[in-house]
Amino acid sequence: MQSVIDRWIQCSELDEEMKRQLLTYSDAEREDAFYRHLTFGTAGMRGLIGPGINRINRITVRRVTEGLARVLSKQPGAMERGVAIAFDSRRFSREFAQEAAVHLAHWGIRVHLFPSLRPTPVLSFAVRHLHAAAGIMITASHNPAEYNGYKVYGEDGAQMPPDKVESILRELDQVEDELAIQTGSWEEGVASGRIRYVDPSVDHAYIDQVLSLSLRGPHPTHASLRVVFTPLHGTGKNPVEQVLRDLGFSRLETVARQADPDPAFSTVSSPNPEDPQAFALALEQAKISGADLIIGTDPDADRLGLWARGSDGRFHAFNGNQIGALLLDYVLQQRREQGNLPTDGVVFKSIVTSESGRAIAQQYGVKTVDTLTGFKYIAEGIEEQESSGKGTFLFGYEESYGYLLGSFVRDKDAVQAAMMCCEMTAHHLEHGRTLDQALAELDRQYGAYRETLFSFTFQGKAGTNRMQALMDRFRHTPPLTVGGLAVERIRDFTNGLDGFPPAKLIRFELEGNSWVAIRPSGTEPKIKFYFGVRSITKEEAEVQLDAMRQSIRDIVEAD
């Protein structure tokens, strides 16, 4: 490892800030920055910004782009079809996008580069719209400000699944010295015509497609819905505002202090719509303006969070499972009433997402298909469905605040979700229901499904080893009961199971339709513990959840 560090210290390409940071690393920081190459997880390559092979910087961006370029160079027609590249509002996102563009152009590969920041779903759409061979999105999604990342998309507009990523990793294994990779210059790439900016017509086409998903169009009641929106300093402002205003949501307010891109995310501790603290400013504004609904998108606008004024006049947060259940019920109900609910409809959800969606879909005669965690698996299911001609995609979602309604995008899309959440809320208010009342009605129809999760974070090389040891502990000496409920079945996906490919996931299925799932995060150094319960009342469900959560926490903390 020391030889690699020495090479980096002597590298002429490192700017003064990176050299200073490298020389001031503590021993632990130095080890973490160099003990491995930054890896691909659930959502591409993501890591702390800084010098080192386990950090994201111009060198590591160039290295992974080298692997992608080698793969594309072996595919007939791929170099001419090119790669679409977009970036978000994070530190160095533009620079990393340009680094990738330059290196692809050096290989003779055409580049379709967005001239300014764009949401992840727009990148996914652009890959398909432009018939590109691949796509790159520079983003760390909802991670804290010190992170950035690199997502790779296939020609279908979906993040590459493990088997396709493996082809890139095999090429990277042949790169002996990441600092010795030859590349070109921005000027050369532009002069050659290989680097071209994406035309605004792509944005227009995307907006038109989103608007086509509306089940009500510019309905008269939309003008009465009072909406507060926060893009959390990211990419969501322009597309969300445009779509909502085009549908007649004229009483839309955007949180001014969070409207503009800010790589420091200066008004929040983390730009994550799953975090209630991220909505503090939006809540203040909503209370003053008398809003009915608050929506927020993360920096790359693929996740959406929602708060709504309840029947008690106060604002209530809805988690990803609840938002998904409400959206699914609304979409299926409207389609049935309008006579366009297909008989072969399919809903996709991840295996750690609430079972409430399955119950709702079944009521409408719609099939539910489980996937592994990661929206690329939902996209893979959509692609298989369309290729075979069997099944009609209706909705896809994950508990982690990701939703998809139109398959012209093959990743979660907060712009689509923002539009449909506003439309859904207006519909319920028109019929005298707040969203908490609509959710309570689902509880009465299908049972009270409640879910929660917690996670433990493990930093550095030692943390990685600790995570592995903990996963081994649950795999080899699993608990017999969780929260007083007997473990009836253990599903270990390590080597693949029930038709699923291999995954770092263990699921304990308990008596009474409760369950626990354990998986290391694919984007952060943590293990996530998911819990799901179905009870008669929400109060009973919460009590059981607390018992299950404490049971697992006791095991982890005692280990």
Q: Which residues are marked as active site?
A: 141
Phi-psi category of residue 188: left, alpha or beta, with phi > 0 → left and psi -120 to 50 → alpha: alpha
Distance CA 377, CA 374 (A): 6
Token look-up 């792509």 returns 202
C-alpha 321: how far from chain center: 14
What kind and span of H or E run contains 490? strand 485-492
For residue 398, list its beta bridge partners: 402
Pairing of strands 227-230, 147-153: unpaired
Q: How far is CA 216 from CA 156, 219, 292, 293, 337, in A?
A: 29, 6, 19, 18, 12
What angle do the packed helices 435-446 and 414-430 form, to 10 degrees?
Answer: 90
What dihedral angle (degrees, nearest 10) is formed by the CA atoms of 424, 430, 436, 441? -90
Tokens at residue 424, please?
Answer: 């859904």
Instruction: Tell me if 381 sits within 8 A of 129, measured CB to CB.
Output: no
Angle value at C-alpha 133, between 50 and 83, nearest 5 degrees: 40
Compute the Cα dihedral for 533, 535, 539, 540 and give only its sign: negative
Per-residue HEC secondary structure of 293-360 comes to EEEEECCCCCEEEEEEECCCCCEEEECHHHHHHHHHHHHHHHHHHHCCCCCCEEEEEECCCCCHHHHH
